[in-house]
Amino acid sequence: MKKIVMIGYGAMAQAVMPLLPEDVNVGWLVVMPQDVAKTQAIVGDEIKVISRISEIDGQPDCAVEMAGQLGLQAHLFDLIRAGIDVGVISVGTFADSVFQKQVEQAAKEHQVKISILSGAIAGIDGLASAKLAGLDSVLYQGRKNPRSWKGSYAEELVDLDQLENATTFFKGSAREAAQRFPANANVAATLALAGIGMDDTEVELIADPKMERNQHKIIAQGKFGAMEIVMMGVPLESNPKTSMLAALSVARFCRQLDDALLI
């Protein structure tokens, strides 16, 4: 039986929990201090709800993070110092190059593995392999209904309520996208880490009132040839900013903890 730590209890975590296999249990759930009592009442006594990694009693098999960039920053180094491997979904946090270097150094020092989860897209394995021969360009286009961009920096760039046609409201690097759209641009950051880096990966973000699903498009070229992948992801009903596939990637990570054959 595997016992894991879950960081965050938002829409994604709540979607992941029912998908965990029978041999993987959530032993600890980390939330904000003001949410501990409320969350404990929801999940019951079998899971210990805490607000600090130091409150973990025992040695978990791993941790999975679904708490957003601030949540990852708050807890990742404590997890590393505790010797706990971590699966990360808030990949945009690594747009901060200083943070990334500090994480890599700490993980090596404490012999901890930080797994970047694929999230809302496919093709990460192919892109990372293609990089070995040399990539010339990588473009990511994120196209979502305007309601999925609500509450983000997009509201300062375009009137989301008045759009009648598809509008590209952002063009820039993956680093800038991840920093300006922390809840929406984890895909861009993941592609950047797998491919040619945060500053050379191009990003275009589009609000399209005709879209009912979240479209992720990857266009890459290099010595390997060319790659074009289009994903049409269904957003979580409880949070349209989040793709269902992102939650499924976390569940897959947890299901592979005991697998001898990994794909």
Instruction: Enumerate the domain spans of the chain.
Output: 2-120+245-257, 124-232
Quote the DSSP letter at residue 238: T
Task: For domain 2-120+245-257, say whether CATH 3.40.1010.10 is its number.
Answer: no
Identify the active-site residue in 48, 131, 143, 216. Answer: 216
Q: Binding-site residues for NAD(+), please?
A: 120, 186
Q: Binding-site residues, please?
A: 120, 186
Task: Identify whether 216 is a catalytic site residue.
Answer: yes
**Rounded percentage of the chain residues whose pLDDT exceeds 70:** 100
pLDDT at 29 over 90: yes
**Partners of residue 24 on adjacent β-strands:** 2
pLDDT at 241 over 80: no
Nearest in space to 168 (alpha carbons), one of 191, 139, 197 = 139
pLDDT at 113 over 90: yes
Which CATH number does the domain 124-232 belong to among 3.30.300.30, 3.30.360.10, 2.40.50.140, 3.40.50.620?
3.30.360.10
Q: What is the pLDDT of residues 151-190, one digit of tens each?
A: 999 999 999 999 999 999 999 999 999 999 987 789 999 9
pLDDT at 148 over 90: no
Q: What's this model's pTM, rounded to 2 decimal places?
A: 0.91
pLDDT of residue 185: 80
Long-range pairs for 171-176 at CB < 8 Å and ≥24 separation? 171/202, 171/203, 171/204, 172/202, 172/203, 173/198, 173/199, 173/200, 173/201, 173/202, 173/203, 174/95, 174/140, 174/198, 174/199, 174/201, 174/202, 174/203, 175/95, 175/199, 176/95, 176/203
